[in-house]
Structure 1
Amino acid sequence: MTHYALADEGWLARHHDANDLILIDARPAADYWAGHLEQARHLDPTLLVLQRTDAASIERFQNLLAWLLSTLGIERSSRVLVYGRSNEVNVSRVAWALGYAGVEHVVLLDGGLSMLGEPSLVRDAPAVGARRFALEPVTRFLASAHDVLSVATGERTRSVIVDARQAEEFVGRQSNARRRGRIPGAVHWDASREVDARGLFRQAPALADDVARIAGSDDRVVAYCGGGGRAARTFVALQLAGHSRVAVYPASWNEWGNDDAFPVETVAPEVVAA
């Protein structure tokens, strides 16, 4: 089972040289090559975007993920620290994918490089020996469109669909897809509530209180957004809050909102709580 945790500057200073720690830089490639933490390896989060969640697409994603982690020298028992510029959603996308792949220890640098003051950065990439990554997907971390449909139609109970988009998207005023609206029965959750004014993840008790307002402790939460990034940060936030029964619908509205086979619901703006 994957354990998610946060690291600050002090934690990084104490553990940076640990033999079992692998650093992953999740920023764009240009930023990585302009300067990164020593020994950090680069993983482009855009490679982890899914457009569809049919069986063939998920299989391709699994094969790509196994190859990426193999080339990065990561094993299931590795302790991996992921960082970005801040707590941008793509850092969480990488963290979610690592957990889905079966990596047991995933740490996020809370606030990213922006919280390190003036960190010492290098431009040379580390020499990495490839290792065979034996992918054992944690299937409960990924929800397909048909999984979500079974919740939306009431076929599957004890599950809550959480919409991590902005309110304007939730009520159908904006959309990144051909159709507007939301998945039927979805509960609105603005992903901005996951971080505080400094851009750090909010404390676990505060997050847990928010989660309790939308889901019971035994409910499975299925998070979606426009393209999977914000949903991934919601996934991480819920994990940090102690709610481990959470999945990401990675193709999110990119798939659902463009496929007429899936139902869409619209609501009046006044339904959304301020």
Structure 2
Amino acid sequence: MIVSSDWLFERLSDPNIRIVDIRGRVEHSEPRYHSEPELYLKSHIPGAVFIDWTKDIVDLNDSVPVNIAPPEKFSELMSTLGISNETVVVAYDDHNRMFSSRLAWALRYYGYNKGLILDGGFANWVKEGKPVDSNLPKYERKDFIAVPHPELKRNADQVQFRSSETLLLDGRRPEVYAKGFIPGAINIPHTSLTDPETGKFLSKEGLKNSFKKAGVDTDSLPKNIICYCNGGVSATVVVTALGILGIENIPVYDGSWNEWGKDEKRPKAQLH
């Protein structure tokens, strides 16, 4: 699920690889969600295309913010970027692997298993002295066919009426989780899964320890797991971490707290 900067550097000229810059940020105040095309225009990994995570891969007609784009829109975007169902996509960001993980999950949801994440993101790439440029590449259109895999996504009812054996993981920061969460959810802060110095995911042992500190034994997980956060984005960092540990095909509650927190019918819990 993740690749190193050295791995990508050796394959910069590979025509079967499409590098995607999906840098952005999330603010604590409104408006919360931002993309960062200006950073891409300034400098990016050679050959990279840009995806605006707030518009390009979301359903702008959905009342819940940043829910995944419908298959027609997703297919058209990938096709326009010269991505087919056979192209290997390597995504990078500079926000704790949130947006690259989200794109990788979105690709898997649409039946595509060649979505990879650049470990350490763009900042680590630059720190290591790897090349950057500001050229805007053009690629020939290819055909991408998005086929939804509903087993990788959950809705509010599926979360509320989940079986008692289901493990529900909340990927938000502890201070956000404390203010309100879905009853029964365990907090696995996405920031606890990466190295703050390098931005890389922790080693397998480090990841296991982070989960263990939160009360989750990754060696004896239940069959059913669901991850969520505020908008189904940082939750995918947890999904990536589990994938690194060999625990794959974990579904995401796409609406997450953006939907749940505003629905008066849904039960809520707080830390006191």
TM over 0.5: yes
Q: TM-score, with normalisation over the residues of structure 1?
A: 0.82
Q: Which residue does 1:207 correspond to in 2? A: 207
- Structure 1 residues 239, 263: CA separation in 2 closer, same or farther (over 3 Å shift)? same
Letter in 1 for 2:177: F
Contact map agreement 1:205 1:241 (CA 8 A) in 2:
no
Tell me: CA distance 1:84–1:171, structure 2 relative to 1, closer, same or farther (3 Å): closer
Asked if the contact 2:19/2:49 (under 8 Å) is kept, the reply is yes
Match of 2:7 among 7, 11, 18: 11
CA distance in structure 2 between the partners assigned to 1:73 and 1:79 by the alignment: 11
Identity %: 26
Structure 1 residue 204, shift from structure 2 partner: 2.1
- Provide Cα deviations, 1:117-176, integer angstroms capped at 9, x if missing partner: 33322222211122221112222221111221122xxxx24321111112222222xxxx
> How far apart, CA to CA, are the structure 2 residues paired with 1:52 and 1:37?
32
Pairwise CA RMSD of aligned residues?
2.5
Say whether the 8 Å CA contact 1:51–1:251 is kept in structure 2: no
State the SS of the aligned residue for 1:93.
helix
Match of 1:171 in 2: 178
Letter in 2 for 1:13: F
- SS of equivalent residue, structure 1 residue 170: helix
1:99 to 66, 85, 108: 108
In the alignment of these two chains, the number of paired residues is 250
Aligned: 1:217 with 2:236: no
Please list the CA deviations of residues 76-98 of structure 1 after superposition, one character each: whole Å capped at 9, or x if unmatched.
Answer: 22211111236341222112112
2:31 matched residue in structure 1: none
- TM-score when scaled to structure 2? 0.82
Give the conservation status (yes or no) of the 8 Å contact 1:228–1:250: yes
Cα–Cα, structure 1 residues 80 and 164, in superposed 2: closer, same or farther, change >3 Å?
same
Distance 1:106 1:230 in 2: 17
- Aligned letter for 1:194? L
| Structure 1: gaps (5+ residues) | 173-180, 269-274
Q: Is 1:137 matched up with 2:148?
A: yes
Structure with more of its chain in helix, by fraction: 1
1:263 aligns with 2:272: no
Question: Retained in 2: the 8 A contact 1:22–1:74?
Answer: yes
- Segments of 5+ residues of structure 2 without an aligned counterpart are 24-35
Q: d(CA) in 2 for partners of 1:218 and 1:188? A: 16
SS of 1:262's equivalent?
coil
Q: How does 1:13-162 map to 2 (within 5 A)?
A: 13-27=9-23, 28-47=36-55, 48-49=57-58, 61-85=70-94, 87-116=96-125, 117=127, 118-151=129-162, 156-162=163-169
SS at match of 2:96: coil
Structure 2 distance, partners of 1:21, 1:204, is 26
Q: Secondary structure at the match of 2:227?
A: strand
Describe the shift of the 1:238–1:254 C-alpha distance in structure 2 as closer, same or farther (beyond 3 A). Answer: same
